[in-house]
Chains A and B, each alone.
Chain A
Amino acid sequence: MKKFKSIIYLMALLLFPMIAQAQFDGEFIKPRNGKFLLQNATLVTVTKGTIQNGSVLIANGKIEAVGQSIPAGDAEVIDCTGQFIYPGMFDGGSRLGLVEVNSLPETQDFAEIGQVTPNMRALVAVNPNSVAIPVTRVSGVTTTLATPSGGLFPGTAALINLNGYTADQMSAGFEGVILNFPTSARRSTWDRRSEEDVKRDADRAQKNLNDIWERATKYHEMKTAKAELQFYPEMDQLAKVIAGELPLLVEVNAAGDIEVAIKWIKEKGVKAILTGVAEGWRVADKIAESGLPVITGPMLSIPTRQSDRFDAAYTNPGKMAKAGVKVVIRSNDAENTRNLPFNAGFAAAYGMGKEEALKAVTINAAEVFGVADRMGSIEAGKDATLFVSSGDPFETKTQIAHVFIDGYRVPMSNRHIKLYQEFLERSPGLEK
């Protein structure tokens, strides 16, 4: 009897792990790194032409080899016959990760209180677990400039890769201070100020900017002279711009403002990138002459003036590129940053051409952000941030098959896809 009891006891013990362990259905697919060989694809390298029947070997987060016959060795082979490989696309300006639900202030982390807050760093507020990040990256957009907005100096933007669980894992290495350049335009169709008020406000804002800049310059001079300074985080951040450690991202859109901004940038001798530039086409030659690069977009927006041609925003990047400006494209979106390639497609159709538009979302962006040694094209030695697609990634119906970010193969899934899987054929259907 005692023996019997202990047998039962033993059996119960054996059962225990099964009872204690919850039973989950399905498996969670995680991003996974390793050694991969992508075989037999058309490689659109961007910088070194197109390679037919090409292969890419990925190891240690890098592109180890690019060519036509690379031995697989111990790499996991992914057959890409009939498919294309492109470098990951950059979005030159987005709130992705800085906001979860646009209308809810609790989830808005892109606009701080205050007009002069350059020390507010987007990188620390990016939510690596935002639902919108996997939604975005399956489109082949792998890298975005997380951009604060709001006041005169709303903060410091950060280039992030769309894979990782901490700010440091996501950081792609570039940061830049944003300046919303004083504007002589109306803020929106809500803006009912008189023409005189608009002009007066613009002049005041310009003077205010110059005063702040002068103070920052003084601060920088004193700091360089090793003076003992009171803690002044805003000036400390601007001083880094004056010292050339951080570039200035100058948001400016109206044609007149662009000219003023170019003059101001030259006068201050600051390293700058123009952003927005909605009316760049009106002063394209002057921008080209300045040598300043431009981040512009979205193309899918209405013209800035009622008298403009319907396609003013579609043709803007093409006209600037033709004038000799280095152009990067942005979505200026958040949850729909995935529309970046479609913006590039419209730019391509309306004068920019496919090749130039592709550069605008890859190598041009990498160059402007100073990361072209690591990103922006398919070349051996660069980061393995790339994607495999059924065709031209700007074309609407193209399917993206695989995405790699820093050598991690990211799951081709997200909440939008999971809802599709759940509801395409709902169970129960109409009748239960």
Chain B
Amino acid sequence: MKKLNSIIAAFLIMVWMPTMGQTQKGSVLIKNATVLTVTQGTLEDTDVLVENGIIKKIGKGLSANNVTIIDAKGKYVMPGIIDAHSHVALDAVNEATAPITSEVQMADVVDPYDIGLYRSLAGGVTISHAMHGSANAIGGQNITLKHRYGTFNPEDLFMKDAPRTIKFALGENPTRVHGRGKNIQPRTRMGVEAVIRNGFNEALQYKKVWETYNNALKQKDATPIPPKYDERLQTLVDILDGKVIIHCHSYRADEIYALINTCRDFGITNIVFSHVNEGFKVAPELAEYTMGASVFADWWAYKFEVYYSTAYNAAILTENNVITSINSDSGELIRHLYHEAAKTQRYGQLSDDQALALITINPAKQLGIADKVGSIEEGKQADLVIFEGHPLSVYAIPQMTFVDGVKYFDINDDQDDMRLRVSANETVEPIFLKEHDHNCMHGVDFFFNNFGRSLFQHSH
């Protein structure tokens, strides 16, 4: 009997093992939709066949066996929306203890229970770039998430084939936290530039020390002493080696230009500027030297460094050939990025394809995942949204959202309570009249903003 038990146990382990680290993949056939491919135009009355999480075929009159068929006649299908700047599903956002904290990993603090994931799925968002906050000139390493809501395992949310990225931050936030908050550099934009430049130079020295050591090892009978390993500096070395994409919180044209110059001096080309409210003022430079700008549609005047900005930012950047995306940096905004993208038609009259690219293929390019997601193309991962009404219309309503061909949101099967976990000692559910999580200065802001005076404002 004991032997039988252990055989069963061994069998169960064998069955269970291969499923470890495997996320669910689905198959589905969406029929008769208006397909907004983003990269290959709009296809009327078209079917999309998804097999095992991948877009297998796009065409008319497709059929498949043993696959769920969805009739999307009169509806629109677009690629899953991608948010290049988010803090949804993070337990912590800022490690505000030093101007450089490149050793920190957001992958360590992913919270799969966050209802924000489901709410963003209900707004058609399938991928978010979960970022460190903006307290430090060089912050932590970010993690790109696929919104596979329902899992209790944070790793199931990771988009494992996405490249590494890291958060940088310029301007008011790092100077406020470190300069004014702790009386250490940086207190000015001069200091921010110097902190980053010094960091890269130190990383070069560190790289050289290791190279010397590794070369010494190759000598016969060599017994060199290994240098001390430093995760912080090694990460900066990886940036210099082009292995990590920088996503830099920034607002003013001068600080953006200064970092472009720093990057050029160190041969760094993998850089995306985020928020970048004054990006339009240095659009030609952003187009020439960077992976583009990820902006807000219309936010301004919530702090001084965004006072001289314009809602036409995204349109100006787009028309100047800057790779441009629209991000949320907010647990609220992430739910209607399709509407935020549409604002570029109010402010700058972008075309439908230009506007849709802002929340699909362009953020995919900025995250280094454009070969896998961001458009409806055969061979790409099946992250799809079905809309009632054109997604750029204010009256559009997302109906279903798929990640890897698996349906995670269906408006006709939407339970009132979609929480994965309810506290056992909660007798009455708390009512929150304002949400302050999910933004760049989460975790540090309260100590710097007049204790409630500015609580009702954006703090990014």
Contacts and interface: CB of A to CB of B under 8 A. Distances in A.
Interface residues of B, number: 75
Contacts of A396: 339, 342-343, 345-346, 392-394
Tell me which of A132, A183, A310 has the highest count of chain B C-beta atoms within 10 A of its own C-beta.
Answer: A310
A101 B307 contact: yes
A420 B315 contact: yes
Interface in B422-460: 422, 427-437, 446, 449-450, 453-459
8 contacts: A102-B458, A186-B433, A309-B414, A310-B119, A348-B395, A424-B312, A424-B316, A426-B320
B232 to A, nearest CB: 30
A131 B308 CA distance: 10
What are the 8 closest A-B residue pairs judged by CB atoms, nearest first? A345-B394, A397-B345, A420-B312, A396-B342, A335-B301, A185-B431, A430-B284, A102-B457
A145 B196 CA distance: 46
Interface of B: 115, 118-119, 122-123, 280-281, 283-285, 287-288, 298-304, 307-312, 315-316, 319-320, 331-332, 335-336, 339, 342-343, 345-349, 389, 392-397, 414, 416-419, 422, 427-437, 446, 449-450, 453-459
B336 A300 contact: yes
A305 B429 contact: yes
A279 B309 CA distance: 35
A183 B432 CA distance: 11
A345 B281 CA distance: 32
Interface in A344-361: 345-346, 348-350
Contacts of A187: 433-434, 455
A309 B409 CA distance: 12
Contact of A103 (B304, B432, B437): B304
B285 A420 contact: no
B439 to A, nearest CB: 11
A317 to B, nearest CB: 14
Tell me which of B287, B288, B339 has the highest count of chain A C-beta atoms within 10 A of its own C-beta.
Answer: B339
Given A302-B331, A304-B431, A305-B429, A397 B392 contact: yes
Given A103-B302, A304-B433, A423-B316, 15 more contacts: A101-B307, A104-B303, A185-B433, A301-B332, A301-B435, A307-B416, A335-B300, A394-B394, A397-B346, A397-B349, A399-B346, A419-B309, A419-B310, A420-B312, A420-B316
A254 B433 contact: yes
A263 B141 CA distance: 53
Given A304-B433, A310-B414, A419-B280, A188 B455 contact: yes
B433 A349 contact: no
Nearest to B315: A420
A21 interface: no
Contacts of B396: 349
Given A185-B431, A300-B336, A399-B346, A416 B311 contact: yes
A103 B284 contact: no
A42 interface: no
Contacts of B285: 430
Contacts of B414: 309-310
B427 A306 contact: no
From DSSP, what is the main secondary structure of chain B's interface residues? loop
Contacts of A417: 310, 312
Contacts of B394: 342, 345-346, 348-349, 394-396
A109 to B, nearest CB: 12
A105 B435 contact: no
B395 A423 contact: no
B219 to A, nearest CB: 49
Contact of B431 (A131, A305, A309, A395): A305
Nearest to B172: A103
Nearest to B446: A190
Contacts of A132: 301
A300 B332 contact: yes
A278 interface: yes
A108 interface: yes
A362 interface: no
A304 B435 CA distance: 9
A55 interface: no
Nearest to A183: B433
A195 B312 contact: no
Interface in A209-227: none
A104 B370 CA distance: 40
A113 to B, nearest CB: 11
A339 interface: yes
A334 interface: yes
A336 interface: yes
Given A195-B428, A302-B331, A420-B312, A102 B454 contact: yes
Interface string A224-238: 000000000000000
